[in-house]
Structure 1
Amino acid sequence: MTQQDILTITNLSKSYGNKEILKGIDLHISGGEIIGYIGPNGAGKSTTIKIIMGIEGEYTGEIKLFGENIEQNPIQYKRRIGYVPEIADVYDNLTGYEYLTFIGQLYGLDLLMAANKSKTLMELFGVGEAYHARISSYSKGMRQKLLIISSLLHNPDLLFLDEPINGLDANSVMIFKEILSQLAAQGKTIFYSSHLMDVVEKISSRIILLYDGKVAADGTFAQLQADNTAGTLEGIFNQLTGFHNYKEIGEQFVSVVQEVK
């Protein structure tokens, strides 16, 4: 794919009752970017992604994916998206084979192609022995690998990842980072949402900080460093969100823990 705008968001706003969650977001995302999408809880990160995915509605503004308004042809654009939610329900009674071939066929793969790809991907991710085991027997890390594979099985052009490395061991995290790097090099666009600032700092080609429903910062890590006095992404995050009393809270927390009768 060429380096064109894959995702364009114009004046996106969303409210739940009287509470305004998104307050006029504007974004232009190109092919091959790894976007670190960060912000404190309640900033609107998940809401943004759910609107793009078609899970949430009743918003104002415009969203274009692959050059077309998402309201015009919602089924077609979703075929080109992969998604790993922070919390996902999988069908525990199915085997890895059954689950992945089911997902693959939903995205238009034939059974043989889905089976061959899913088996190979599970083997490469170190869980090939569980391919025909029921998901109810999987560990947290194995389930996470299953979700990652299911999001990539149909070779999407745009990938949304919400805390995708939860439960993964160190070796698997290294493999996953390399997968993202390879995908971006091929022109895939990746939205990576996480509270692990060190990971976001290392893998992202561009970082977008959402705060109070607005874009508070947007640029490469080097650009954010140049615009702020903090040296790490965690420090920049705290500086831009005005959160400075974490030490005091930590001290007070420990003092309560240590109280004796």
Structure 2
Amino acid sequence: MTITENENKVLSLHALTKNYGAKMILKAIDLDVYRGQIIGYIGPNGAGKSTTVKIMLGLVEGYHGQVEIFGEDIKTSDGSYKRRIGYVPENAEVYDNLTASEYLTFVGELYGMSPAQVERKSRRLMELFELQDVLHTRISSFSKGMKQKVLIISSLLHDPDLLFLDEPLSGLDANSVMIVKEILAQLAAQGKTIFYSSHIMDVVEKISNRIILLADGNIVADGTFDELRQQNKEGTLEEIFNQLTGFDEHQEIAERFVAAVQEDDTDD
């Protein structure tokens, strides 16, 4: 590996293994991720995606192997690397009793920002997401899409170098989806690294410049969409996903489901 590659390495997993009881969730995963990459991290439910991300975030311990972020082994780190990370979880517990301004101030100060910085930045970001009128409104009154926008703002408020996104487009309208996708592209162009996990394959296909497919605790594919398509001779990421995970029963199950819906329940 060249010096330039080492300098640009943002995170590295070596022989990462995690068990829950007798079940092995991650099976000695090796992975290096570099500056400016948008990683589409996909896999079936239970494949180990969330476990991988939570280990990197320091939320799950008791793993084997090595995890380095920004060149630091997170087992021995003082945790300062977390200030350079942003995170949008799939099911976030937002403090509904707070206003958007109070919540963003709380998050910003956790990352070491001053109240003045947070106020100035959050006001501007809320305005760009067309939420300026609800900056001082309790989050409990927000729609799902509005809450999601606040979560996205909170993850970017401190200008992180590494961003973990789990289904970040959930609840957003079409215009907001286009804005967020463009935000991610521009951040990556500036050297930010984005770890993007979603079940919406067409979005992953479009925004990612590297796709990693996890199945049964193993990385079974790693490359650009074009590389995966050449290797697997399939047209879409969804088809490649189905091929590599061995799931080919979707048509049959759908046909049986529709037949059951249309079944005549008239008593004999």
Instruction: Note the C-alpha offset of 1:74.
Output: 4.3
Contact 1:12 1:25 in 2 (8 A): yes
Report the RMSD for the aligned CA atoms in angstroms: 1.2
Alignment of 1:230-245 (within 5 A): 230-245=234-249
Work out the CA distance in 1 between the residues paired with 2:78 and 2:9.
Answer: 18
Instruction: Say whether 1:176 aligns with 2:157.
Output: no
Work out the CA distance in 2 between the residues paired with 1:68 and 1:96.
Answer: 34
Name the structure 2 match of 1:212.
Answer: 216
Which of residues 48, 67, 77 in structure 2 aligns to 1:63? 67
Which of residues 150, 155, 166 in structure 2 aligns to 1:151? 155
Residue identity matched to 1:131: L
Identity %: 64
Give the TM-score normalised by structure 1.
Answer: 0.98
Name the structure 2 match of 1:36.
Answer: 40
Which secondary structure does the structure 2 equivalent of 1:79 belong to? Answer: helix
Which of residues 202, 225, 229 in structure 2 aligns to 1:225? 229
Residue identity matched to 2:25: I
Work out the CA distance in 2 between the residues paired with 1:88 and 1:179.
Answer: 21
Work out the CA distance in 2 between the residues paired with 1:10 and 1:75.
Answer: 19
Which secondary structure does the structure 2 equivalent of 1:92 belong to? Answer: coil
Work out the CA distance in 2 between the residues paired with 1:74 and 1:172.
Answer: 37
Name the structure 1 match of 2:31.
Answer: 27
Give unmatched runs, 5+ long, in structure 2. Answer: none
Residue identity matched to 2:134: A
Work out the CA distance in 1 between the residues paired with 2:115 and 2:131.
Answer: 20
Instruction: Say whether 1:163 aligns with 2:161.
Output: no
Work out the CA distance in 2 between the residues paired with 1:227 and 1:178.
Answer: 29
Instruction: Note the C-alpha offset of 1:197.
Output: 0.3
Residue identity matched to 1:35: I
Instruction: Say whether 1:190 aligns with 2:194.
Output: yes
Which of residues 69, 76, 93 in structure 2 aligns to 1:72? 76
Instruction: Say whether 1:17 aligns with 2:21.
Output: yes
Contact 1:81 1:157 in 2 (8 A): yes
Name the structure 2 match of 1:5.
Answer: 9
Q: Give a deviation string over 1:111-169, Cα, whole Å, max 9, x none.
A: 00001101100110111111010001100000000000000001111000000000000
Q: Which runs of 4+ in 1 moved over 6 A?
A: none
Work out the CA distance in 1 between the residues paired with 2:136 and 2:83.
Answer: 26
Instruction: Note the C-alpha offset of 1:63.
Output: 0.4
Q: Give a deviation string over 1:22-55, Cα, whole Å, max 9, x none.
A: 0011000000000000000000000000000111
Q: Give a deviation string over 1:204-253, Cα, whole Å, max 9, x none.
A: 01000000100000000110011011111001001101111100001111
Which secondary structure does the structure 2 equivalent of 1:182 belong to? Answer: helix
Give the TM-score normalised by structure 2.
Answer: 0.96
Contact 1:54 1:74 in 2 (8 A): no
Which secondary structure does the structure 1 equivalent of 2:79 belong to? Answer: helix
Which of residues 234, 251, 257 in structure 2 aligns to 1:253? 257
Q: Give a deviation string over 1:159-196, Cα, whole Å, max 9, x none.
A: 00000000000000010011001100110000000000
Name the structure 2 match of 1:116.
Answer: 120
Which of residues 46, 50, 63 in structure 1 aligns to 2:50? 46
Which secondary structure does the structure 2 equivalent of 1:22 belong to? Answer: strand
Which secondary structure does the structure 2 equivalent of 1:156 belong to? Answer: coil
How many residues are aligned here? Answer: 261
